[in-house]
Chains A and B, each alone.
Chain A
Amino acid sequence: MNADRRPALKPVSESVGPIAAMAAVFARDVRVAFRQRQDLLNPLLFFIMVVTLFPLGVSPEVAFLKQSGAGILWVAALLSVLLSLDHLFRHDFDDGTLEQLVLQPQPLFLLVLAKTAAHWVLTGLPLVLLAPVLGVMVHLDGNSIAILCLTLLIGTPVLSMIGAIGAALTLGLRSAGVLLSLLIIPLYIPVLIFGTGTVAAAAEGAPVGGYLALMGAFLVLAVTLSPFASAAALRISLSNS
Chain B
Amino acid sequence: MSEPLLQAIDLECERDERLLFQNLSFSILPGTVTRVEGPNGTGKTTLLRILAGLNDAWSGQLLWCGEPRARQRESFLRNTLYIGHRPGIKPLLTPVENLKALMAGRREVSDEVLVQALAGTGLAGFENVPCRNLSAGQQRRVALARLLIADEPLWLLDEVFTAIDADGVRAIESLLQQRAAEGGAVLVTTHHELQLPGMKRITLGAGGVHEC
Given the complex of chains A and B, what is the CA–CA distance between A101 and B84 in angstroms?
13
What A residues does B91 contact at CB under 8 A?
95
B182 A100 Cβ-Cβ under 8 A? no
* B200–chain A nearest beta-carbon distance, Å: 12
- B interface majority secondary structure: loop
Interface size on A, residues (CB 8 A): 42
What A residues does B5 contact at CB under 8 A?
11
A7 B30 Cβ-Cβ under 8 A? yes
From known contacts A103-B80, A239-B54, A239-B55, infer whether A12 and B151 are also in contact, taking CB-CB under 8 Å: yes
B105 A6 Cβ-Cβ under 8 A? no
From known contacts A36-B92, A103-B80, infer whether A28 and B101 are also in contact, taking CB-CB under 8 Å: yes
B window 70-123: CB within 8 A of A: 74-75, 77-80, 82, 84-93, 97, 100-102, 104-108
A106 on interface, CB distance cutoff 8 Å: yes
B88 A32 Cβ-Cβ under 8 A? no
A24 B104 Cβ-Cβ under 8 A? yes
B105 A96 Cβ-Cβ under 8 A? no
A20 on interface, CB distance cutoff 8 Å: yes
* A42–chain B nearest beta-carbon distance, Å: 16
Q: Which of B53, B89, B107 contacts A16 (CB 8 A)?
A: B107
B153 on interface, CB distance cutoff 8 Å: yes
Which range contains the number of B residues in contact with the other chain?
Answer: 35 or more
A238 on interface, CB distance cutoff 8 Å: yes
Interface bits A20-44 vs B (CB < 8 Å: 1, else 0): 1100110110011001100000000
A12 B55 Cβ-Cβ under 8 A? no
A208 on interface, CB distance cutoff 8 Å: no
Given the complex of chains A and B, what is the CA–CA distance between A101 and B77 in angstroms?
11
Given the complex of chains A and B, what is the CA–CA distance between A16 and B109 in angstroms?
11
B2 on interface, CB distance cutoff 8 Å: yes
A11 B75 Cβ-Cβ under 8 A? yes
What B residues does A10 contact at CB under 8 A?
153
What A residues does B43 contact at CB under 8 A?
none
B2 A95 Cβ-Cβ under 8 A? no
A12 B152 Cβ-Cβ under 8 A? yes
A97 on interface, CB distance cutoff 8 Å: yes
What B residues does A21 contact at CB under 8 A?
104-105
B183 on interface, CB distance cutoff 8 Å: yes
B89 A35 Cβ-Cβ under 8 A? no
Q: Which of B31, B88, B184 contacts A100 (CB 8 A)?
A: B88
B39 on interface, CB distance cutoff 8 Å: no
From known contacts A24-B105, A105-B105, infer whether A95 and B88 are also in contact, taking CB-CB under 8 Å: yes
B205 on interface, CB distance cutoff 8 Å: no
A94 B86 Cβ-Cβ under 8 A? yes
Interface bits A111-151 vs B (CB < 8 Å: 1, else 0): 10000000000000000000000000000000000000000
In this complex, what residue of A is CB-closest to B2?
A: A8
B106 A9 Cβ-Cβ under 8 A? no
From known contacts A11-B153, A105-B106, infer whether A6 and B2 are also in contact, taking CB-CB under 8 Å: yes
Give 30 CB contacts A-B under 8 Å: A1-B198, A9-B153, A9-B183, A11-B78, A12-B79, A12-B107, A12-B151, A13-B75, A15-B107, A16-B104, A16-B108, A21-B105, A24-B100, A24-B101, A28-B97, A35-B92, A35-B93, A95-B89, A96-B86, A97-B89, A99-B54, A99-B82, A100-B82, A100-B102, A104-B105, A104-B106, A105-B106, A235-B56, A239-B54, A239-B56
Query: Given A8-B2, A105-B74, list of 17 further CB < 8 A pairs?
Result: A1-B198, A9-B185, A15-B78, A15-B105, A16-B105, A28-B90, A28-B97, A28-B104, A32-B90, A32-B92, A95-B89, A96-B85, A96-B86, A97-B89, A99-B86, A100-B82, A103-B80
Please give the residue numbers on chain A whose beta carbons come within 8 Å of chain B beta carbons, in ascending order.
1, 3-4, 6-16, 20-21, 24-25, 27-28, 31-32, 35-36, 91, 94-97, 99-106, 111, 235, 238-240
The 6 closest A-B pairs by CB, nearest first: A96-B86, A24-B104, A104-B105, A8-B30, A7-B183, A9-B153
